[in-house]
Structure 1
Amino acid sequence: MGLQPYDYGLRPHDDFHVIRRFYLNHKHLEILNRLFTPMIGSKAIGLYHYLNQFVEFKQDMVLTHYIIMSELKINLLEFRKEMDLLEGIGLVKSYVNHNQQHSSFVYQLIQPPSSQQFFNDPMLSVYLYSEVSKQRYFQLKAHFEDYVSIDLDQYQDVTRTFTDVFKVPNKSMTVDTQQIESEEAYGGMDLSHVHFDFETLYDLLQNHFISTKIINHEAKTLITQIATLYGLTPEAMKRIILKSITSAQTLSFEELRKHARTYYLIEHEQQLPKLNAQETNYHNNENSGENIQPSDASNNWLKQLDETSPIDMLASWSESEPTTQQKYMIEELIEREQLPFGVINILLQFVMLKEDMKLPKSYIFEIASNWKKKGIKTAEQAYHYAKKVNQPKDTHSNQVTKGKYKPKQLVSREMTPKWLEERDNKASNSQTSDNNVNADEDETLKRDREALLKRLNSKREEE
């Protein structure tokens, strides 16, 4: 997510320094340009190259963000958005030091991964595959493969050691050495804030008599990556792990990645996940460092519902895999009513809680049609409307806890639409008016006829 506004108040006159603890060679440039550009865009990679020039500047030289704004023709909001992409993908680290007058920033460029690291990383390789065609992906992979691949297992290592070649001095020597900073290699995407319920996974595996010792530190890292990439629950991960255990009762990482990918493709119509950046809450206010309070847990829950596929929500919320008929029903509902994910997620939860965890199709479509007519477009609107139309008599039995509600019986009232009432009223008034006009016309004709007959009779009498 990058730095939050209360972590820094970035202003144009704030100074910055750029550090790089590795030598940027042509292989790194190829990795950045060929592999990272399709994922985070040319603007972010261009910013990485642009910042690299400031590594050579002396520390006592003052560099402000005015330089970045002026030379790149961007504002600070655009700068931070591109920096977020670089930080999120693991290519840049940002540090800040505040004082009363201004803030000072340090941007550290991280060494790009090797091609082997990149294509062996389950997240990077899948996100790249999602952004380019299949043919292009294998073209890129072939470009970085060694032209000659030799299996060294068939050879004997006969390399001479240091003592085989050089004489070792008899006297001990004391050498005053200066500490040299080591290169900081690419560490992948930072998933330190991602929580995966390993305790539940261990319990599920023990039910199948699988020892938890197969999940070592390296396996936990890979499982966290895969669970984050594909949005897997402990139950889904258990099934994938069971398929990935070898005959020697070890966990095959390659099989784990393959089965996780297959599982996701089946659930998402052969579409791999894409690298989508979140919407930031940065304000384009370059002269102010006002703090913005983070949203509360309820808003985060509703926002998550707006961004989660109804099929994924249903699998996670009900803790069971949706049936094929339920998936077809949800797809038909999305296609027919064109409602946002958040509204459909609230609708499904509402119906399941009311109908004893069942999903009657006709009832769901009836409610969906009604909500669409009322213009409900977000999970928050759907949530409050569902509570409004289902107010229980006993308010104590309808408490909201952890974003879930327990509705009782839906109060349904069939009301005549306002436009229909107005139409009927107009028709009734028109009919009444017509009747009155007709009555007036009849009375006038009667009087005119009587007057005409009277004049005719008087003329006859005169003759």
Structure 2
Amino acid sequence: MNVIGKILPIDGYHVVMDEQPFIDFNASLTHFYQPLIGVQAISLYYTLFYEVDYAQKAQTHHTLMTYLNLTLDNIYRARIKLEAIGLLKTYKRREDNRDYYTYSVQRPYSPNQFFGEPMLSQLLLHHIGEQKYNELYARYVKDSIAYGEEVTADFNEVFDTITPSSSAVLNMENEKENRETDLMDFSWIEQSLRQRFIPAEKVLHSVNKKLIYQMKVLYDAESIEIEKALLWALDEDNQLNQEEFKSACHDMFISRNNGQAIRLNEKMAAVDTQVSMKQPATKEEQLIHELENISPKQLLEDLSDGNHASEQDIKVVREVMTKQGLPAPVMNVLIHYVLLQSNMKLSKAYMETIAGHWSRVGLKTAKDAMNFAKQEQEKYKSSKSKPRKSNNYNYNNNYKKEVVPDWFNNRKKTPSKNTTDSNISEQEQQEIEAKLQKYLNES
């Protein structure tokens, strides 16, 4: 399964838990779940469990990498195992160009509940062997003691409730039946039973339907195999013996797979299989395929003719990769690009500048990063090839002239009204002063 780039170090997460587990849930995780999903998944479960409502602010997945000392790819694999086994539910949202995850931790089954689940108990049996399985069963599942006849009062004997209408009861029954039949189509089993004059409703009740579905999924059984195992496990009263049915399904699986034991394996996605089957045709496709599947450390060593990558170069790559949250394929393209542009020198400052740009753009794959780098390079070449204007300006002739209105140039030719009025007033003032002086002299 291709898990590269599924989550990034800068992606945030928050942990919640709706139901508190029982007191001794560690025994179930250690003895029942761990043999099925492995120690890394259990470690992730414990880490998330003790971070329930720990921080008000969302943390980044870089925190999980630090706690678990695991890569993001291994953390993602551990997470989907927890989801598949029923120990975790994951919700995703996107805000401010970042992904945020809410991890809802689910409480594990108690020992009694675990052994009561046919699919999980059968898987555990095949993983740890019959002897260890029986030891765990004897340790955690206590045999019921005969206390006598039960005389516990029933709810309806003590309390009076409102009786629902007949239509509501019918809808509830139909809804329950639909939930059961959604898991699997039982029409072919029902038809086979009726052909043998076996009452189908007696065999195909809800408990048996769930068991039949789980065994079909667990052993990847064909319809004819399920039918044979079912008929084999019916007793003379047409009652299904569940243990015989499980044994019959297991025997058919062993026979079909030449004695190979059943194991939990990660399912390969169909898309990944098709991609792996398609061989790269051109040299560019070969390079992209290599950059998608190689680690940055291996890339540095390959570009150094097989020599070990220097500790300083690895440190630079690690800091840039974790700080900017670039996926490994995009980081590989960045390393390749910087080395080609810097004469095979790994400049940290230059790398950080480009990494910040690529992180804001949101590149996810090596192909996207390579195409984006080509586009930026073409823009740089086209801008460099454009003719530039000369900077040797003639400041005496080429300066920007200001526009001067005509009235400013002609202001001395045409006297304004205010100027004329001012001159007349001054002349009158002089005449008045002369007359006054004459008057004083005569007096």
* 1:57 and 2:54 matched: yes
Identify which of 27, 35, 38 aligns with 2:24: 27
| Residue range with higher mean Cα deviation, 132-141 or 244-253 | 244-253
Shift of 1:272: 3.9
Q: Which residue of 2 aligns with 1:95?
A: 91
**1:230 Cα deviation from its structure 2 partner:** 1.4
1:14 is aligned, of 11, 16, 37, to: 11
Question: Does structure 1 conserve the Cα–Cα contact (< 8 Å) formed by 2:21 and 2:107?
Answer: yes
Instruction: Find the aligned partners of 2:200 and 2:155 in 1 and give their Cα distance.
Output: 41
Normalised TM-score (structure 1):
0.49
Query: Counting helix residues as a fraction of each chain, which structure ranks higher?
Result: 2
Shift of 1:20: 1.3
Asked whether the equivalents of residues 180 and 209 of structure 2 are also in contact (C-alpha less than 8 Å), the reply is no
Q: 1:124 to 1:156 in 2, by over 3 A?
A: closer
Q: CA deviation at 1:133?
A: 3.1
Q: Mark the CA change 1:160 to 1:97 in structure 2 (over 3 Å): closer, same or farther.
A: closer
In structure 2, do the counterparts of structure 1 residues 237 and 162 end up closer, same or farther at CA, with 3 Å as the change threshold? closer
1:99 positional shift: 3.2
SS in 1 for 2:103: strand
Q: Deviations over 1:344-379 (max 9, x none)?
A: xxxxxxxxxxxxxxxxxxxxxxxxxxxxxxxxxxxx
The residue number in structure 2 matching 1:410 is none
Counterpart residue type for residue 241 of structure 1? L
| Partner Cα separation in structure 2 for residue 100 and residue 12 of structure 1 | 16
Show the counterpart of 2:239.
Answer: 250
Specify which of 174, 181, 186 is matched with residue 198 of structure 1: 186
**Equivalent residue in structure 1 for 2:127, among 131, 147, 152:** 131
CA-to-partner distance for each residue in 1:267-320, whole Å, 9 max, x for gaps? Answer: 44554411112246598826667489xxxxxxxxxxxxxxxxxxxxxxxxxxxx
Identity of aligned residues (%): 24
- Report the aligned-residue RMSD: 3.7
Residues 25, 69 of structure 1: alpha-carbon distance in 2 compared, 3 angstrom cutoff: same
Greater Cα offset, 256-265 or 25-34: 256-265
In structure 2, relative to structure 1, the CA distance for the partners of 1:273 and 1:48 (3 Å cut) is same
Change (3 A) 1:160 1:234: closer
Q: Deviation digits for residues 358-402 of structure 1, max 9, x if unmatched?
A: xxxxxxxxxxxxxxxxxxxxxxxxxxxxxxxxxxxxxxxxxxxxx
Is 1:119 the equivalent of 2:119? no
1:273 aligns with 2:262: yes
**Which one of the candidate residues 73, 76, 95 is aligned to 1:77?**
73
Secondary structure of the 1:67 match is: helix
Deviations 1:181-211 (A, max 9, x none): xxxxxxxxxx999975533333333332334
State the Cα deviation string for residues 379-426 of structure 1 (Å, max 9, x = none): xxxxxxxxxxxxxxxxxxxxxxxxxxxxxxxxxxxxxxxxxxxxxxxx
Q: 1:62 to 1:237 in 2, by over 3 A?
A: closer
Could you tell me which of 103, 107, 115 is aligned with 1:107?
Answer: 103
Number of residue pairs aligned between Structure 1 and Structure 2:
261
TM-score normalised to structure 2 length:
0.51
Rate the CA distance shift 1:159–1:15 in 2: closer, same or farther, 3 A.
same
* Structure of greater Rg: 2
2:197 counterpart residue number? 209
Q: Residue 100 and residue 236 in structure 1: after superposition, are their counterparts in 2 closer, same or farther (change >3 A)?
A: same
- Shift of the 82–137 alpha-carbon distance from structure 1 to 2, 3 Å rule, reads same
SS at match of 1:210: coil
AA in 2 matched with 1:57 = Y
Correspondences of 1:310-389 after superposition (within 5 Å):
none
Residue 121 of structure 1 deviates from its aligned partner by: 2.0
Three-state SS of the structure 2 residue aligned to 1:263 is: helix
Q: CA 1:291 to 1:251, structure 2 compared with 1: closer, same or farther past 3 Å?
A: farther
Indicate conservation of the 8 Å contact 1:39/1:131, yes or no: yes
One-letter code aligned to 1:38: P
The Cα of 1:142 is off from its aligned counterpart by 1.6
Report the Cα offset of residue 37 of structure 1: 1.0
Q: Give the Å deviation of 1:63.
A: 1.0
Shift in CA distance, 130/258, structure 1 to aligned 2, threshold 3 Å:
closer
**Structure 2 regions of 5+ residues with no counterpart?**
160-178, 273-291, 296-326, 329-358, 367-443
Q: Structure 1 residues 161, 228: CA separation in 2 closer, same or farther (over 3 Å shift)?
A: closer
Question: In the alignment, what sits opposite 1:237?
Answer: 226
The 1:56–1:206 alpha-carbon spacing in structure 2 relative to 1, beyond 3 Å, is same
Q: Helix, strand or coil for the counterpart of 1:107?
A: strand
**In structure 2, distance between residues paired with 1:117 and 1:102:** 39
